[in-house]
Amino acid sequence: MTTEYLLGLVVLVLSLSWTPGPNNTLLAASAARFGYVRTLPHLIGTVGGFGVMIFLIGLGLSEVFQTYPLIREILRFVGAAILLWIAFKVATSPLPTGERRETDKPWTPARAAAFQWINPKGWMMAISLVGSAPQTSPTWLSPLIVAAVVMGIGATSANGWALFGKALQRFLSTPLRFRVFNFVMAALIVLTVVGILFADLSGKAAH
């Protein structure tokens, strides 16, 4: 694994991690609603869960999707449907108040980690990164390095988006501003879904 590849990997992951997407949007919305500290479990689950997902795909799950493309397509549309439902929940989320319902709470690490497996943008990113990684000996070294880079850079983008949401918390104190913010976050998720439905998930472009 060359230095040139690692530098290219870092630049690519930076661009992919910091752009708007379901994870970043949800973290910003969560921090705007619950604050940064209460969003940390969601953040940790997102970063750790995606890193584990990258590593497992690198160990061979990508071959399953290459061999059985129908599974990949099912994931695409199921994931898109779930993202649209999440966008609806974000858009219609009520203004934070001092009295919260029992179900009104941030995501747990387990829920955030599980979300990675039905996030089509995550699959697109994972398959592309793993598909372009060089072979190493032992074979697990390459996916481990990719996963480590993704987790390291992903932690910076996740924190950045969460802090962005937290910074807007005071500004979003009025119902109108909060509703507009939620609609913008939901719209970003919907735009991601549109891109997913027309994207090539085969990973061929990465080779």
Residue written as token pair 């990973």 = 203
Burial 29-49 (b: 16+ CB within 10 A, else e): bbbbbbbbeebbbbbbbbbbb
pLDDT in tens, 172-206: 777 888 888 888 888 887 887 777 677 655 554 44
Q: Is the pLDDT of residue 136 over 70?
A: yes
What pTM did the predictor assign? 0.76
pLDDT 10s digits, 143-174: 899 999 999 999 999 999 999 999 988 887 77
The token pair that represents 202 in the structure block: 């085969």
Q: Which two tokens stand for residue 29?
A: 């919305």
Rounded to 5 degrees, φ, ψ at 103 are: -85, -5
| Share of the chain residues as helix, strand and coil, in percent rounded to the nearest 5 | 80, 0, 20
